[in-house]
Amino acid sequence: MAKKVLITGAAGFIGFHLSKRLTNNGYNVFGLDNLNAYYAPSLKLARLKELGVEGDLNNINIHDLQISKKSERFHFIRADVADHEFILNFLGTHQFDVIIHLAAQAGVRHSLRAPRDYLHSNINGFLSILEGARTTGVDHLIYASTSSVYGLNKTTPFSEKHITDHPMSLYAATKKSNEMMAHAYSHLFEIPTTGLRFFTVYGPWGRPDMALFLFTKAIFQNKPIKVFNQGQMFRDFTFVDDIVESIFRLIPNTPKPSKASNDLITSDDSTAPFRILNIGNSSEVSLLEYISCLEKHIGKTAQKELHPLQDGDLISTISDSKALYDITGFKPRTAIDDGIKKFVEWYRLYYHTMT
């Protein structure tokens, strides 16, 4: 029988792509999202429409379960993961085999302006999911962490074995907290949990608050782009399809307790059924090279405004994704030129922009 999967944040960037992939591959997928206004809900609604959720999407009722018109394998429900009582009842009713928890308040800079949003979604929301997994029993709980947890760590490439005790933003601190909360539940209740540290995800249907989207919009509109740290920034840009492929392969690969003695435990290893994995392209790309590639595919030169480094930003990120490959036989491989080309093609089509 096809596995029954809950994807939280299903109307979000990664959640949308993953919902489509799992539905197309025979999983019974229930997508949950609160459709908040952190960025334009119109994009989230467009993603849902692409998944086959129809009707008056601007007036989707809270807790109203809808079946996709494209596939009976996809159901959507509007709900907040921090609505503790509802989440426990919902998970108890549907008895999911796998939970993939992607819902979160994202963004480093927004955490400087609205810190309470992060406690609500990232801490209280994750607690609801953990409690639901505990009371209903799941084969595997997979959840999103972030490369931002590496914080002040200067050793690269970042390895899951590195200490992550010095976050540079509240967003990173809440994601580090998620990893610790997951370990506690894995240890106490033997819930298999896998935390995924994503490295700068980009691609079609991406978030409008991220650099690629902001740069593309500004270049098309002949407006200047803000280039922080005078362009001396380096990122491990990871195409969204590679993220989805990684998660798809991890679903049946549940973590097992390590046989290491307690005094040898590292940050990614435990005597509980717990693990942490990086998902990154393992290729450091400069911000200026990223912009140059974008200019090439748009066919315009960007007007660059150079700014100092922003609070909470890491100068460089690069992933050691060997552990992911050892488990799945897959590692992210999309070249930056191919990924940006696909994004620009989607952007032109979605916004009907040809100039």
Q: Is residue 21 part of a domain?
A: yes
* pLDDT tens, the chain, 355 aa long: 569 999 999 999 999 999 999 999 999 999 999 999 899 899 999 999 999 998 777 788 889 899 999 988 999 999 999 999 999 999 999 999 999 999 999 887 788 888 999 999 999 999 999 999 999 999 999 999 999 999 998 888 999 999 999 999 999 999 999 999 999 999 999 999 999 999 999 999 999 999 999 999 999 999 999 988 887 888 999 999 999 999 999 999 999 987 665 555 566 678 899 999 999 999 989 999 999 999 999 999 999 988 887 776 778 889 999 999 999 999 999 999 999 999 999 999 999 865 5
Give per-residue burial for 72-87: e unless 16+ CB within 10 Å, then b.
ebbbbbbbbbbbbebb
Nearest Cα neighbor of 148 from 305, 338, 314 is: 314
Nearest Cα neighbor of 324 from 195, 202, 234 is: 195
Q: What residues contact residue 72 under an 8 Å CB cut-off, 6+ apart?
A: none
Q: What was the pLDDT predicted at 35?
A: 94
Please give the angle made by the CA atoms of 54, 60 and 65, to the nearest 5 degrees.
Answer: 80
Give tens-digit pLDDT for 53-97: 987 777 888 898 999 999 889 999 999 999 999 999 999 999 999
pTM recorded for the entire structure: 0.94
Q: Is residue 287 part of a domain?
A: no
Q: Is residue 305 part of a domain?
A: no
Distance separating alpha carbons of residues 351 and 348, to the nearest angstrom = 5
Give per-residue burial for 92-129: e unless 16+ CB within 10 Å, then b.
eeeebbbbbbbbbbbbbebbeeebebbeebbbebbbbb
Q: Are 236 and 221 in contact (CB under 8 A)?
A: no
Q: Is residue 29 part of a domain?
A: yes
Q: What was the pLDDT predicted at 278?
A: 98
Q: Is the peptide bond before 157 cis (omega within 30 degrees of 0)?
A: yes
Long-range interactions of 339-343: CB distance < 8 A, separation 24+: 339/202, 339/203, 339/237, 339/239, 340/202, 340/212, 340/290, 340/293, 340/294, 340/297, 341/297, 342/203, 342/204, 342/239, 343/202, 343/203, 343/204, 343/206, 343/212, 343/216
Q: What was the pLDDT predicted at 265?
A: 56
Give the single-character DSSP code of 271: S
Q: Which two tokens stand for residue 118?
A: 């992060």
Distance separating alpha carbons of residues 51 and 269, to the nearest angstrom = 37
Q: Is residue 261 part of a domain?
A: yes
CATH code, domain with 157: 3.40.50.720
Q: What domain range includes position 88?
A: 4-202+238-280+319-333
Distance separating alpha carbons of residues 214 and 204, to the nearest angstrom = 13
- Total structural domains in the chain? 1
Q: What residues contact residue 129 under an 8 Å CB cut-off, 6+ apart?
A: 8, 81, 87, 99, 101, 141, 143
E runs forming strands in 156-240? 193-198, 201-202, 225-228, 234-235, 238-239
- Catalytic site positions: 171
β-strands 140-146, 238-239 pairing? unpaired
Q: Is residue 223 part of a domain?
A: no
Q: Is residue 216 part of a domain?
A: no
Cα-flanking dihedrals φ and ψ of residue 118, to 5°?
-75, -35
Q: Is residue 138 part of a domain?
A: yes
Q: Which amino acid, 242?
A: D
